[in-house]
Structures are given as C-alpha cells and as structure tokens.
Amino acid sequence: MKVLRPMLFVIVYPILISAIFLVSMLLSKLGNLVFGIISMIIGIGCIVFGLIIFIKEKKEKYNLLIIGGVLISCIYFIQYKNLQILKENPKAVTVFDAAKERMTAQKMTDKYKSIFKTFNYKNITVYYHPSLEPALKLIKIYLIQAEEDTSKILSDTTGNPLTIYLDYDENVFRKLEPNLVNSQGFYIRAENRINILVKDCYEDILSLDIKSTDFKDTFMHEYCHYKLKEFIEAKGITFDRVPAWINEGLASYIGLEGASQIYQPKTIMPFNQLMDPKEWMSQSNKTKGEVYVQAHYAVSQLILSRGEGIVEELLLSTKELAFEVAFEKIIGLNIQDYQIELKEDMKNGWSRYYSMIPLSYPKDISKDKISCLEEYININPFKVEPLFDLSTLYSGVGDYEKARLVLNDILHKEPENSTAWKRLAFVLQNLNDFDGALKAYEKELSISNGSYESYMNMAQLLLLTDIDKAAKMAERATWYRNSKYVLKQETEIRKFIGAIKNGTPYEGCLELIIGDSLASDNLKRAIVQKIMKEYPNIKNKAREELERIQL
C-alpha cells in the first residue's frame, strides 16, 4: 500500500490530467462547457465521498479527497484556458483547430519572411517583397515626411529601433492581429513593429486612386503611434495616462497631413468612453470607425486653436496629474465642456473648425511618383492603367509631349480605348495641335457615346474652323448635362458666334476671353490671333483691350 500511494501521485494523476486535457482539446465550446460541468460534478462527488469516508473511517484514507481536489483544480484551469482560446479565435471549432491554425500561421510567416528584402533608414528597418522595388523611393519619402510632421508636434527623441513589415500575404497578415478585422495596418507597441498589408505595388502604392492614398495615410498614421510611444517613454510618462482618443486622433492628424478631413463626424461620443484601448476598439467596431473621425477633429481643434506644441504640453502634464485634471489646466476647460463645444460646432457644419484651417497643400511629389511609375512600367509594360496614371502625372507637371507619347503607347495596345482618345485630345490641345485634338475627340465619339465635356471641348475647338458646327456641338453638350454651367458655356459660345455675324468680332471675342468658358489659355490665344488675322482693319477699344491682355 505504501508503494501504491506514491505511484498514484507519479503515474495516475498525470495520466488523468493529460486525458482531461486531450479530451477537452477535441471538444467545441459547448462540448467543453458540458465536459467541464460533468468533470466538476465528479470532482465534487469525490471530495464529498472522501469526506464521508474520512469522518466515518480512518484518517489515512484521503485519496478521494486528493483526487477530487486535483480534478477540480485542473478542470477549472484547463476549461478557463480553452474557453479563452476559443473566444480569441471565433473561427476555430475546437482548441485543437486554434492550436493548429496558430502553428500553420507561424510556419507561413517563417516561410515567407525568407522572401523579404530590406532597406534601412536611420534606426528603421523596412521589410518588403521584391515586387515593391519600384515604390521604394515613395516609401522613403513617406518615412521622411512622417518623421518631419511628428517632430512638429512632439519633441524629437532618440528612438528605439523600429521594424516595418509590408506584408503581401493577407492570410498571414490577418492572423498576426485577428481582432483587427478591417485594418490595413497596425503598430505592436511591445515589439516596436509596424505591419501594413501591401498586396500589389501599383494598386496599393503607385496608383492615383484612393487605395494609394490609404497606404500613405496608414503608413504615416502607424509611424505616429511609434513616435508617440517613444516620446512617452523618453519623458517618463505612464502610457496608461494617455487616452486612446488622443493617441488615435494625433495619428490621424499626422496620417492626413494636418487638419483637412474628408469625412465629418456625424455624432460626438462621450470622451469617457474613448479612454481605454479596449473601450476604443469596442466603440470603433460599433460605430464602424466613426470614432477615428471624431478623434481627428478633436485633436485637430486643439492644435489649430492652441498651436502645435499643445499636445506635448498636455502629455507632459499627465506625469503628475490625472488626464482630466491636466486637460482642464492646459486647455482651460474641462473635457465635458470641450465635448459640448465640438457638438455645437458640428451642428453649425464645423464652421469654427474650417475657419481655422490654414490654406496649405501637401508637398508636391509628382516628379517622384513619375520616376517610380516609369520604373514599374519598365517591369510591367503590358498594363494599361499605370500608363494612364503616368500620362496624368506628365500633364500635371506640364510635360504634355511625354504625356502624348504615353497615350500613343496605350492606343497602340488598345486602339479602341475611348478614354485614351479623350485624354489625347486634351494633351494635343495643350500642345497647340488643335486639328489633332479635334480628330481625337471625333475618334472618341465614334467609339463611345461621349460626354458633355467632349462635346463642349469640340465646340470650343470648332470656333477656330467652323462656328456653325461649333454651335451644334455646344447644343449637343447640353443634351448630356443641362446644368447652369453648361448652359452658360453654350450661351457664351453663341454670343461670340453672333458677334462675328453682326460685325462686332472684337467685342464678342473679348467677352468670350474674359469669361470662364475657355479653360485653356492657349485656345484663348489661338482665338484672339484668328480674329486679329481675319479682321485686321477694325480698330476699337475691344481690340486694344485684347492686345493689352497677356494670355
């Protein structure tokens, strides 16, 4: 008996615990609950039965008491952990599935990490897929810009090394932070690591649509989280004292390059519900991200009304004071009053907010985007959309000849692309090739139904060659869009035609030129030159005014 009792401890109990653990691993959430209840009942039964024996018989017979105690303790611990794992992994049916998924994710991460290349900027290491090589110049620009913008708000601190992963595998990316379902990026404070999902070099970074703007915003937003964490640690501030709405609002302010914001808050939630990160995440899910917009406006209002140093001053005050007390001391009103102030401004269409926004524009990086797109197109010459973007960028910097060559390349690939013909017409008009522009518009209209812009642009070009046809084209433009502006354009064209037919070409020309119907200065010049060439003998004040105007 003395030999069996130690064996019971050494062999039977571990086997019993292992059996409980293995069975629970294969059960669902409901199965774990049922299994746990049954096991608990058995454990309690063992304790009760053991107590009865202990009281009625000899004291040495306490095996059932030990078994029951061990069973209850193990069941409680195992079931608590299992339910926690299943709660964190709602897609997993069993704990075994969750464990398998975690191991698979880690293997996938290790496997694809070997594909990454890296570049360094100061104390930052960026891991990227080789396909992102053409976009590296832009990424470095965003890094520098994020650093400069955050330094205006927070004192520059010698930061700890930062790692940035530009993840290309969405499955791996989602498993790194399962709770962030719709996020395209996140910052892990404990590891000083930023992860951003980038599935395609062109679509996510280089294109001119909203997706590339989202990448830039996300990149700078997450960098700000890193910089704020470094500032807080360097200044000896307790991170828990910084509310989530300040953290996220400042990151949104940096991500959006200042105070401008496309979306306006529809509601103002109580700030006491946006303090803790867990509460923030809960409210973000409930409001579908609306709290980010509120936080951006709230922090932007503080910076606009009190200067860029206000955030740092507020954060430093939290070293000795609770945030609510520090806020009232530094800002001059308590959080509840500030909340009321924001609500009032919201009711008035944010008039106070917009009256404070300075007239500033993001730094123009068009030439850098051009060089990146050129590199990308050299590697991917058969894609048309990047060529469209490149032609738009060339036009934006005034290099219409290169824009023409790119559009010709598109039309060589897709001769019936009406959009390319329309854009080519615009470019040729800016190159003073008015005949070529007219033919390009005609080609566009032969392929598609056209648009009011195309018909109106043709009407303006026809003023150089056929004024009667110009009137018909202007009228046709109104069929497509019968707005006040289009009707005004048609009226100005008809007045000009009428002035020519009535023998007052210079008066008609002057009225057309000083109006806003002709957006192109080179077309204005061409029309003035045409009138002066055709009516050289007319001398009047309208002609003198046309000669005086510098176009």
- Condensed to tens digits (0 to 9), the pLDDT of residues 391-429 reads 999 999 999 999 999 999 999 999 999 999 999 999 999
Please determine, for residue 107, whether its predicted confidence score (pLDDT) is greater than 90: no
Query: How many of the other CB atoms lie within 10 Å of CB of 478?
Result: 17
Mean pLDDT of 35-50: 66
Of 70-84, 210-224, 353-367, which range is least confident?
70-84
| pLDDT over 60 (residue 64) | no
pLDDT at 179 over 80: no
Distances (CA, A) of 16 to 11, 96, 137: 9, 19, 61
Mean pLDDT score, 13-36: 64
When mean pLDDT is compared across 9-18, 202-211, 270-279, the lowest value belongs to: 9-18
Among the residue ranges 77-86, 165-174, 335-344, the one predicted with the least confidence is 77-86
pLDDT tens string 412-421: 999 999 999 9
What is the C-alpha to C-alpha distance for residues 75 and 300, in angstroms, rounded to an integer? 52
pLDDT tens for 321-373 read 999 999 999 999 999 999 999 999 999 988 888 888 776 666 788 999 999 99
Residue 228 burial by CB count (10 A; 0-12/13-18/19+): exposed, middle or buried? buried
222 neighbors 251 (Cβ within 8 angstroms): yes
Task: With cut-offs at 50, 70 and 90, classify the pLDDT of residue 288.
Answer: confident
CB 197 within 8 A of CB 214: no
Q: What is the Cα–Cα distance from 82 to 24, expressed in whole angstroms?
A: 8
Q: Is the pLDDT of residue 37 over 70?
A: yes
Task: Quickly state the pLDDT bin for 12 (edges 50, 70, 90).
Answer: low
Is residue 118 within 8 Å of residue 133, measured between CB atoms?
no
8 A C-beta contact, residue 258 and residue 360: yes
pLDDT of residue 284: 81
The larger pLDDT score, comparing residue 337 to residue 68, is at 337
